[in-house]
Amino acid sequence: MILYMRLCLFSRVCLNGPLALCVVLSHTVGVRRSWMTAVAEDLDMLSERAGAFSELGRKTVAEWVSVVRDNPRRFRAALRKAKGERAVNSVQAWARTRRMAEVDAEYKCPSCVYTCSTRQQLATHAFTVHGVCRKMRAFTDTDHCPVCMQWFGTRTRVIVHLEEKSPRCRRVVLERFRQLPEDTVAVLDERGAEEARTLGRIGRRRHHADTRATRLAGPLMKEAFEAGLDHKSLLSTRLPKISASG
Ligand SMILES: [Zn+2]
Ligand SMILES: [Zn+2]
C-alpha cells in the first residue's frame, strides 16, 4: 500500500510538477534513503514481478518520467492492475521500513566466514573471536557527541551513537580527531564497566539512561561544517531514539 501511494504521488509529480523538478529528483536516485531511491526500487520491483508492467520493461527513472508524461492513463492503469497481483503482494515485495528490512538482514564478519542476523551478534563475535573492541572508545571522553553536539548523558551512549547511529559524525571523528592516550581510555572503560555493573544490578542494559538525548547549545566545529553538517541539517535531523529496552 505504501508502495502504491508512493507511485501515485510519483506519477502526480511527473505530470503536474515542472520538468525541472523531475530532473532534480531523478538526480537523487541512489542517494541512501531518499524518496527517489525508494521510487526507483518500487519501479524495478514492479517491472520484475508485475504482469501489468512486464510489457513496459525495465527502465531508468528518467525513462519512467517520460513514460508517465507521455501516457499517464496507461501508467495509472498498469499501477492499479499491479496492485491486485499476487506476485506483487508477496511478503518480499512489500515496501518495508528500515527496521523490518533489518530483521532478516545478514551481517558478515569482515575477518572470517561468520554470518549472523543482528549487529549485536556480530559485535559479540568480533569481540570474543577476534578481540575487536569498539573503535570509537578511543576517541570518546565526553557525554556528548563532539561533532553534532547531541548530549547523551553517558559516554557509552555517545559510543553507540558514533558506532551505530551516525556515520556522518563517525567520519568527522575519524578524520579530524586524535585518539586519546591508552591509559585514559582504560580508565574511562573501567568507569563505564562499573556503571554497567551498577545498571546490571537493577536490571538495565549498559546503554540505559533516564534522560532523552538533547542538543547542546554552542557553536559547531569548523570540521563539522566541512563534513556537510550545518545548523539547518541539524534541525531537520531527528534525534536518534535510544531507549531503555533498545
Ligand atoms: Zn569473524
Ligand atoms: Zn553526533
Q: What are the pLDDT digits (tens) for 194-211? A: 888 888 898 888 777 777
Asked if 141 and 222 sit in the same domain, the reply is: yes
149 contact partners, CB below 8 Å, separation of at least 6? 215, 216, 217, 218, 220, 234
Which whole number is the average pLDDT over 88-97?
59
- Tell me the pLDDT of the chain averaged across its residues: 78
Cα(67) to centroid(ligand 1), Å: 48
Rounded to whole angstroms, how far apart are CA atoms 39 and 65? 11
Of the ligands numbered here, which is closest to the C-alpha atom of 114?
1
Asked if 80 and 168 sit in the same domain, the reply is: no
Rounded to whole angstroms, how far apart are CA atoms 150 and 159? 12
Of the ligands numbered here, which is closest to the C-alpha atom of 127?
1
Cα(136) to centroid(ligand 1), Å: 19
Asked if 103 and 75 sit in the same domain, the reply is: no
Cα(173) to centroid(ligand 2), Å: 9
Number of domains in the chain: 3
Cell, residue 199: 545498571
Separation in Å, CA 231 to CA 85, 165, 217, 245: 46, 19, 11, 31
Residue 60 lies in a domain: yes
Cα(151) to centroid(ligand 2), Å: 9
Rounded to whole angstroms, how far apart are CA atoms 161 and 217? 18
| pLDDT tens digits, 3-56 | 788 888 888 888 888 878 777 777 887 777 788 888 888 888 888 777 777 777
Of the ligands numbered here, which is closest to the C-alpha atom of 130?
1
Residue 244 has pLDDT above 70, yes or no: no
- Domain span at residue 109 reads 99-130
Are residues 111 and 130 in contact, defined by beta-carbon separation less than 8 angstroms? yes
Cα(109) to centroid(ligand 1), Å: 5
Asked if 119 and 203 sit in the same domain, the reply is: no
Residue 241 lies in a domain: no
Asked if 145 and 231 sit in the same domain, the reply is: yes
Asked if 147 and 126 sit in the same domain, the reply is: no
Running DSSP on this structure, what letter comes out for residue 112?
Answer: S
Phi, psi for 242 (deg, rounded to 5): -120, 105
User: In sequence order, what DSSP letters do the residues of 134-160 get, joined into one string?
Assistant: PGGGGG--SSB-TTT-EE-SSHHHHHH
Residue 243 lies in a domain: no
Asked if 199 and 140 sit in the same domain, the reply is: yes
Longest dimension (CA), the chain: 69
Cα(158) to centroid(ligand 2), Å: 8
Rounded to whole angstroms, how far apart are CA atoms 43 and 4? 10
Cα(147) to centroid(ligand 2), Å: 5
Phi, psi for 215 (deg, rounded to 5): -90, 125
Of the ligands numbered here, which is closest to the C-alpha atom of 172?
2
Separation in Å, CA 152 to CA 55, 207, 222, 225: 53, 10, 22, 21
| pLDDT tens digits, 120-161 | 788 888 877 877 777 888 899 999 998 888 899 889 899 989
Planar angle of CA 106, 160, 212, nearest 5 degrees: 120
> 108 has which bridge partners?
115
Phi, psi for 100 (deg, rounded to 5): -65, -40
